[in-house]
Amino acid sequence: ALEQLNKESQDEGILLKKMTQYWNHHTLEASESVDIFTAQINQLKEERKQKSSALQQQLFTEYAFLNQYQEVKSLAAIFEGNPPAGAGECAAPKLLHYAFKHQLKPIAMAEFWWGKSPKGEMRKHKQFYPACTGKCEPILKHMLEGIPMEENPFAINLAEGKELEIVFEDEYLLLVNKPAEFLSVPGKQLTDSVYERVKASYPNTTGPLLVHRLDMSTSGILMIAKSKEIHKLMQAQFLSKKIQKSYVALLDGFIEKNEGEIDLPLRGDFDDRPKQLVCHEFGKAAKTKFRVLSREENTTRILFFPITGRTHQLRVHAAHHLGLGCPILGDDLYGTKSTRLYLHAQELIFIHPISKQQQRVYCKAPF
């Protein structure tokens, strides 16, 4: 019985070896066939990619726009490369092109949103909005050449004639009350800013000066460090969230909740800068606590306590339907323009970098 078991084991071993050789051979043949088909598929994909790219470039070249001088420019020429997806598909370029093609003279034009707001953006039914900066603005710059228009508000120095009120100052720190419509740092078109004013008034200061920033349209307390070393210490307090900030705002409407927290991640709107979008996939964490102070005449006076400090965080958290669903009064980006943006940085609580004592600076809102 033992000899029979040994013989069966040897026979099975020989059979296994033969079967392994057989299937290895057939697997190799099949693999070679697969490689041939895979190469053909990859070649076809590359051909499709090249043809698609060529067709896209042809469309960019042939999709052209007129201006009042009957000058024609293609998408490819306007954007000097690959235009963003959807460029030229908005109403304004198409209507203007039709007008110029049929020798009509545009008198006035405004675009408004129809329907529900997109998921990440802030849009209201029947509300007027300017052309987006990424897609339409370059096209309209060509199409509206020579046509009288209002001056670009971003090119107007609204800070002219405004002064920086000092709310706290010692040997190490300077805290000012920045007026609304006043840049914190120099911009692309305007240089007049808190940074430039402070640099001119305090020529012996060193380092980046501004410890944090406020939106151009936001008024309130702005901290300046007079030396590089103090700037580093105060920046560390901001990064570790040891500094407490509060903002007061007027919302354009009523909200039901009296207090709460908003947690909506934000990222830049690449097609319409400087706007921000709510984006759960690629956005950076953004959290805001709030408390209602009063409700009066279709407005809500509210306190914001930002936990993070993202660009336009309070403005988006107020306006977005997943936030408060109620834009800040006078918000020309996410709501309706008014005499000003009713948002003010009213209080800053921090640890003094030298005395190590808690310091509270308060600046009452002008509204």
* Whether pLDDT at 98 is above 90: yes
Domain boundary among 96, 117, 149: 149
* Whether pLDDT at 266 is above 90: yes
128 and 201 share one domain: no
Residue 196 DSSP one-character state: H
Grade residue 211 by pLDDT with cuts at 50, 70 and 90.
very high
Angle CA(78)–CA(106)–CA(140) in degrees, nearest 5?
20
103 and 196 share one domain: no
Which three-class secondary structure state does DSSP give residue 280?
Answer: coil
Share of the chain above pLDDT 70, in %: 100
Q: Which has more pLDDT, 2 or 141? A: 141
Pairing of strands 343-351, 219-225: parallel
Which residue in 215, 269, 272, 331 is the catalytic one?
Answer: 215
Do the domain assignments include residue 182?
yes
* Whether pLDDT at 120 is above 80: no
pLDDT, position 84: 86
Grade residue 171 by pLDDT with cuts at 50, 70 and 90.
very high
Helices (H), the chain: 2-62, 75-79, 91-101, 136-143, 194-201, 228-239, 313-319
145 and 280 share one domain: no
Q: Which has more pLDDT, 157 or 182? A: 182
Do the domain assignments include residue 10?
no
139 and 190 share one domain: no
pLDDT, position 251: 98
Do the domain assignments include residue 261?
yes
Amino acid present at 351: I
Q: Which residues constitute the domain of residue 344? A: 165-362
280 and 314 share one domain: yes
* Whether pLDDT at 93 is above 90: yes
Do the domain assignments include residue 202?
yes
313 within 8 A of 289, measured Cβ to Cβ: no
Domain boundary among 121, 149, 177: 149
Grade residue 150 by pLDDT with cuts at 50, 70 and 90.
confident
Instruction: Name the average pLDDT for the chain.
Output: 92
Do the domain assignments include residue 318?
yes
Q: Which has more pLDDT, 121 or 213? A: 213
- CA–CA distances in Å: residue 344 to residues 46, 178, 183, 327: 55, 9, 14, 14
141 and 274 share one domain: no
328-367 residue pLDDT tens: 999 999 999 999 999 999 999 999 999 999 999 999 999 9
239 and 322 share one domain: yes
Cis peptide upstream of residue 265 (ω within 30 degrees of 0): no
Q: Is 215 a catalytic residue?
A: yes
179-199 residue pLDDT tens: 999 999 998 888 899 999 999
With CA atoms as reference, report the closest residue to 267 among 257, 276, 254, 255: 276
Do the domain assignments include residue 339?
yes
First to last CA, the chain: 104
141 and 241 share one domain: no
111 and 191 share one domain: no
253 and 141 share one domain: no
* Whether pLDDT at 81 is above 80: no
Do the domain assignments include residue 277?
yes
pLDDT, position 295: 96
143 and 169 share one domain: no
Do the domain assignments include residue 342?
yes
Per-residue pLDDT, averaged over 117-126, amounts to 82
Tokens of 211: 């410890």
DSSP track, 93-147: HHHHHHHHHTT-------EE--SSPPSSS---TT-EEPPPTTTHHHHHHHHTTT-
280 and 209 share one domain: yes
* Number of domains observed in the structure of the chain: 2
Grade residue 88 by pLDDT with cuts at 50, 70 and 90.
confident
CATH number of the domain enclosing 221: 3.30.2350.10
Which pTM does this prediction carry?
Answer: 0.74
